[in-house]
Amino acid sequence: MRGAAVLAANILGGDRAFDPVPYFWSDQFGRRVQYAGRHEGADSLIWQGDPASDQWAACWLRDGSLAALVTVDRPRDMLQVRRLIESGTPVDLDRLGDPAVPLKSTTL
């Protein structure tokens, strides 16, 4: 969705990244798996939900902000998280670990 704008800006001398928050998804064994961000260099990992359950997320943080997320069967989380990762907004670690709290409600 950003390709044309980034291309035009760079042709005019800019140095913008095409996708500041990398993203991919895959359907595996009837489950939707989605990943956004870059987890390298993260300093902590918080689970939202139990990975043995049907729906869960793993949240990597860097300096109190989300760096990356992988979800299984939680499609609503992904749009919210991509915005949080891009903005670098700090999150409340206790709320982030609570699967009942929407990710958009974990910001400080």
What whole-number distance in Å separates Cα of residue 81 and Cα of residue 45? Answer: 15
Q: How confident is the model at residue 1 (pLDDT cuts 50, 70, 90)?
A: low
3-state secondary structure of 54: coil
Do 32 and 73 form a contact (C-beta atoms < 8 A)? yes
What is the per-residue pLDDT across 32-65, written as a single tens digit (0 to 9) for each?
Answer: 999 999 999 999 999 998 999 999 999 999 999 9
Structural domains of the chain, ranges and CATH numbers in brackets: 21-105 (3.30.390.30)
What is the per-residue pLDDT across 71-101, written as a single tens digit (0 to 9) for each?
Answer: 999 888 887 888 889 889 999 999 999 988 8
